[in-house]
Amino acid sequence: MQDITPQKEAVEELRMSEEKYSQLFHSTRDAILIRSLNGNTLDANQSAVDLFGYTRDELLSIKLTKIADKETIQQIVEAINVQGWTRIEATLRRKNGETFIADVSSNFVDIGKEKVIQTVISDITERKQAENNLKRSEENYKALAESSVHGIAILQDDRIVYSNQAYADMMGCTIDEILNLEVKHMSNFIHTEDVVILREAYSRFLEGSETSTHQQFRIIRRDGTCRWINSHFAVIQYDGEDAIQIVQVDNTDRIESEKKIEESRNRAEFFLDLMSHDLSNINQAVYGIFDILLLDTGLTNRTKELIQEGLYQMIRSNRLIKNVQKFKKIEDSPPELTPTNPLAALTKATDRVQKDLPYKELNLKTKIEPELLEVMADEYLTDAFYAVLHNAMRFDPEPSVDVDISMVMSEDKSRIRIDIADHGTGIPDQTKGLLFGRVSLLSSGHLGTGVGLTLLNRIISHYGGKIVVENRVPGDYSQGARFIIEIPAVPIDSARYG
């Protein structure tokens, strides 16, 4: 008898193989079409039905031109006939006419005793859209980088894989020279005093303790010049992989300008302190000489008047020096604001003005709201009131100077409004906008050479208040000026009534 065991085993193996193929055919998420060598579609799995929108029977009966262009079909057939397989990306059509991008893989397979063509189709539309978006993003990035005035470089696998022209220019190299550098050789461009700090920062960045970092350091360009660089490191995706992006800004001009400004400020402060001290001593000496001259009983009245004028100018000079010193102190280290009685500050200012201008009489007409709240201010509130009152006294030709003052609370009791109106020659409208700047308008006769009103504006601004200048009589500046000052009041829950 003939032993048919091997034949049975072969048949069983074939059956099991066909079952496995059938399971794969029906369970895979990819669409599969089985076609005969003469071009007829023999089978289609459920994924193909879902992908194209045809029923299985329709897929078996329609022509391939319903789902693919003739050129695509011809390309697949020719490739299979030459090499037995092919894989392409093609645009296919669904039953509803909608197109999609597909990965199409075709090859010969044996099913039973028949050789057929198996075509596996995957919808890759979303993937292609993502790739196109990434490509556009990279193109946009490159366009922006190429046109940027900031130096941009990308490090990947210990090499510089991208450099724009600005980065190369900062380093004093060509782009090709930059791209031929290994990352470890970049330290050759770093100033020796900055190498250690920069390496430590870069190491922390690589270890992941910092996702991005800013560093300012010096580089030595290829031509030997030193430049200050502000650099930012960040992790980005480049060509689908992690990379490090460097964005550099040349801050040399800014740093040198700041250094020059600081040097100028230091010189100015030195000369200010020197002049303040020396001028005060000189003024005191001249003041003493004038006092001695006044003791001479043989002086004419005219001579006495001139000496008195000289004494007044000495007072003005000393006051100017003090104002400049106060202005500097407010700018450098302003005092802490505390609850301050505005009426008490006004009284002190009145006494000082009258003492400085003894040949004139200051007549105040006040209207003070009862239970006036204190304001958040400091010791310089007296100087603010002094500046306004002194201005009124100086520019009023009368020996007796009238000044109207009112202090009232705002409706919500958050601010105090202080009106100070004089009856002098007034301030022209074209001058009001320049009043609080350090400007000499000697020709107008309304603004002197000191810094009193500039100091006034700085003081009130420090309090969070504001100051406005109007005509005392609307429409007629020649009838005097009105200074309107508003200062935040002490909150009611913590206020003390004065």
Domain-terminating residue out of 123, 151, 175: 123
Helix %, strand %, coil % for the chain, to 5?
Answer: 45, 30, 25
Q: Which amino acid is at 475?
A: G
Q: Are residues 396 and 419 in the same domain?
A: yes
Strand, coil or helix: what is 144?
Answer: helix
**309/416 same-domain check:** no
Question: Are the beta carbons of 85 and 107 closer than 8 angstroms?
Answer: yes
DSSP E strand boundaries for 301-399 = 338-340, 361-368, 375-377
Distance CA 345, CA 177 (A): 71
**Residue 90's Cα: distance from chain center in Å?**
48
Q: Are residues 224 and 168 in the same domain?
A: yes
CATH of the domain at 376: 3.30.565.10
Domain identity same for 497 and 402: yes
Phi, psi of 291 (to 5 degrees): -60, -40
Q: For residue 177, what is the enclosing H or E element?
A: helix 175-179
φ, ψ of residue 476 to 5 degrees: the values are -140, 95
CA distance 41 to 38: 9
CATH code of 81's domain = 3.30.450.20
Q: Kindly state whether residues 53 and 151 are assigned to the same domain.
A: no
Q: Which of 404, 373, 374 is nearest to 484 (CA)?
A: 404
Residues 357 and 302 in one domain: no
- Picking from 422, 396, 415, the residue whose alpha carbon sits closest to that of residue 485 is 415
Domain that holds residue 235: 129-250
Q: Which residue, among 111, 114, 118, 117, has the nearest Cα to 14 in the 3D structure? A: 111
Same domain, 344 and 428: yes
Predicted pLDDT at 26: 77
Residues 133 and 119 in one domain: no
What is the tally of structural domains in the chain? 4
What tens digit of pLDDT does each residue of 84-130 get?
Answer: 999 999 999 999 999 999 999 999 988 777 899 999 999 999 999 98
Whether 311 and 273 share a structural domain: yes
Instruction: Give the SS3 label for residue 413.
Output: coil
Residue 444 has pLDDT above 60, yes or no: no
222-278 pLDDT, tens digit per residue, is 889 999 999 998 888 888 788 889 999 999 999 999 899 888 878 877 777 777 777
Specify the range with the lowest mean pLDDT, choosing from 275-289, 433-447, 467-481: 433-447
How is residue 431 written in tokens?
Answer: 């001058």
Distances (CA, A) of 376 to 86, 338, 349, 408: 85, 5, 18, 15
Q: Are residues 326 and 219 in the same domain?
A: no
Distances (CA, A) of 357 to 249, 344, 394: 58, 20, 9
Do 360 and 397 lie in one domain? The reply is: yes
Answer with the one of 307, 333, 359 that is the final residue of a domain: 333
Q: Are residues 112 and 141 part of one domain?
A: no
Picking from 87, 108, 123, the residue at the C-terminal end of a domain is 123
